[in-house]
Amino acid sequence: MVDIHNLTQSAEIGSKLPNAAAVETLVQSMIADGTLHATLSHPPNQSPVLTFSPNGPLLTEKQTQAALAASSTRIKALTEEIKTTDRMLMYEKEYVNYAKKMKKNAAAGLEHGVGVNDMDFLGEDEDLMGSLCGGEKNGDVD
């Protein structure tokens, strides 16, 4: 820190800091507030060592664990969404047909409207009254 002390001036007063301890305090405060991306270690029987981080802020172990936990939670949520979507696309034919209709309707400008192809009135007529009249079809009664 003595070398750094000789080269460091205070931005507040524009002159040298009073001693090496003041420089160390300044450096630690800059690291703490994120201004300086580095670590300050104190090897035994040596001057403090300042190590710069080339990739941004250096996180504590607790901060790293919290960031990993948050990432893990996001990944798990995305994984569940992917599984649900895959299940819907693979096993639910109705969903695939619905998606096709929505795409077709959107292309036709209907979006959420009902189109002619959505109605099933062109299909075969069903005799609803036949079962009430003794099971005969088309109202044929003896």
Residue 85 inside a domain? The answer is: yes
Residues 33 and 75 in one domain: no
Residue 127 inside a domain? The answer is: no
Averaged pLDDT for residues 14-35: 83
Residue 66 inside a domain? The answer is: yes
Residue 137 inside a domain? The answer is: no
Residue 90 inside a domain? The answer is: yes
Residues 31 and 6 in one domain: yes
Residues 43 and 63 in one domain: no
Residue 79, pLDDT score = 93
Residue 27, pLDDT score = 85
Residues 76 and 40 in one domain: no
The whole-angstrom separation of Cα 80 and Cα 89 is 14
User: Residue 122 pLDDT more than 50?
Assistant: no
Residues 48 and 75 in one domain: no
Give DSSP secondary structure letters for 78-138.
Answer: HHHHHHHHHHHHHH-HHHHHHHHHHHHHHHHT-TTSPPGGG--TTS----SSGGGGTT-ST
Q: How many domains does the chain have?
A: 2
Q: Which domain holds residue 91?
A: 59-111
Residues 67 and 105 in one domain: yes
Residue 91 inside a domain? The answer is: yes
Q: pLDDT tens digits, residue range 93-104?
A: 777 788 888 888
* Beta-bridge partners for 41: 49
Average pLDDT over all residues of the chain = 76
Q: pLDDT tens digits, residue range 33-84?
A: 888 888 888 889 888 888 888 776 667 888 889 989 999 999 999 999 999 8
Residue 142 inside a domain? The answer is: no
Residue 103, pLDDT score = 87
